[in-house]
Amino acid sequence: MKALRVEKLSEDMSGLALLDLPVPQRASGEVLVKVHAASLNFPDLLMTKGKYQFKPELPFTSGLECAGEVIEADPESGFAIGDRVMGGNKTGAFAEIASLPAKGLSPVPTNFSFAQGAAMGAAYSTAYTGLVELGGLQKGQSVLVTGASGGVGLAAIDLANALGATTIAATGIEAKRDAISALASPDHTIMSKGRFREPISDLTDGRLCDIVFDNVGGDVFDECTRCVTFAGKLVVCGFTSGRIAQIATNIPLIKGFSIVGLRAGEYARRFPERGRAINAAIRELAEAGRISPAIGRELPLSSWREGFEAMAKRELVGKIVFDPAR
């Protein structure tokens, strides 16, 4: 089978190669899945450079999540041959066949394609954990999402809209503004360059945002501290800008807001009952047609470099999905 392997860590992705490998041996508690779609996430890119908090032993097959058909499973797993499933593990998804923990899989929503299923898992669980589980999102509140063009950013906007919030999408790339506006709200898409508190204040009648969901870090995080309302929450999701921000503690003290660190996967591992509840809530919204992942580009796995480079250069709006069979 074809699989995208990380043979060595590298800044320029020279350590990656599409190889012919044996079909993985299914371990107890795992399900063998024929992969029809696998989505690219920012941690996938970071792991090729050894810059993610999880550092798998080399060599490894890249890919956090996928969707496909069950081809082998234990009876007690709850899955049968032919079931449409989505989910994944920390690695292994960018392959024609993957052996994945049964507990990390769930049925693809009935109205979803494999590509949509592959694109939903990590992005929506991250967004839901940050906004609802940790952020306490309530209907009618205002939410600012930075880095809004990425999979997690768009998932956060989609979920916040579905749950009755007023959402404000922020991007640092002017060329993406129209595309984001079509998916979010035409009147609530701003540029996150320099000082952007003023447009946030105008859009919220001076109240600012109950929840700020920051994917970017760096200078954007610094300005986000000026955009969160008193007693609000600033959810730290990532630092795609490359700079890990620092903050003087008098700022959240004076403004009375909380800074919440978000690691959705680790949260679900430490509190599995909450992880199951989060997945169930997301699935209910999906089955009801209230949320739908935004897919920016679908590529054959042989074009993996195009996808990785597009993510590194922040060229797309929406998720990149690979088809291993193409």
Residue pLDDT, tens place only, 246-289: 999 999 999 999 999 999 989 999 999 999 999 999 999 999 99
Residue 104 lies in a domain: yes
Strands 295-300 and 258-261: unpaired
Residue 22 and residue 142: Cα distance in Å, rounded? 50
- Examine the domain organization and report whether 233 and 140 are in the same domain: yes
- Examine the domain organization and report whether 99 and 169 are in the same domain: no
- Examine the domain organization and report whether 83 and 158 are in the same domain: no
- Examine the domain organization and report whether 139 and 240 are in the same domain: yes
Residue 178 lies in a domain: yes
Residue 102 and residue 42: Cα distance in Å, rounded? 24
Residue where a domain terminates, one of 246, 265, 284? 265
Q: What is the pLDDT of residue 175?
A: 83
Q: What is the pLDDT of residue 4?
A: 98
Asked if 32 and 101 count as a contact pair (C-beta separation under 8 A), the reply is no
- Examine the domain organization and report whether 250 and 131 are in the same domain: yes
- Examine the domain organization and report whether 101 and 201 are in the same domain: no
Q: What is the pLDDT of residue 185?
A: 61
- Examine the domain organization and report whether 13 and 95 are in the same domain: yes
Q: Name the residue range of residue 66's domain.
A: 2-108+294-323
Q: What is the pLDDT of residue 46?
A: 93
Burial 254-274 (b: 16+ CB within 10 A, else e): ebebebbebebbebbeeeeee
Number of domains in the chain: 2
The sign one gets for the Cα dihedral 124, 130, 132, 133 is positive
- Examine the domain organization and report whether 80 and 187 are in the same domain: no
Residue 273 lies in a domain: no
Q: What is the pLDDT of residue 178?
A: 83
Q: What is the pLDDT of residue 233?
A: 98
Residue 116 lies in a domain: no
Q: What is the pLDDT of residue 184?
A: 65
Residue where a domain terminates, one of 219, 246, 265? 265
Residue 189 lies in a domain: yes
pTM for the full predicted model: 0.90
Residue 289 lies in a domain: no
- Examine the domain organization and report whether 150 and 73 are in the same domain: no
Asked if 29 and 62 count as a contact pair (C-beta separation under 8 A), the reply is no
Residue where a domain terminates, one of 265, 280, 302? 265
Residue 313 lies in a domain: yes
Given a cut of 50, the residues of the chain with pLDDT beneath it are none
- Examine the domain organization and report whether 168 and 241 are in the same domain: yes
- Examine the domain organization and report whether 168 and 70 are in the same domain: no
CATH number of the domain within which 28 lies = 3.90.180.10
Residue 82 lies in a domain: yes
* Residue whose C-alpha is closest to residue 289's, from 183, 195, 158: 158
Residue 316 and residue 314: Cα distance in Å, rounded? 6
**C-alpha to C-alpha distances, 32 to 8, 22, 116, 278, nearest whole angstrom:** 26, 13, 20, 25
- Examine the domain organization and report whether 65 and 169 are in the same domain: no
Q: What is the pLDDT of residue 50?
A: 95
Q: What is the pLDDT of residue 183?
A: 73
Q: What is the pLDDT of residue 107?
A: 95
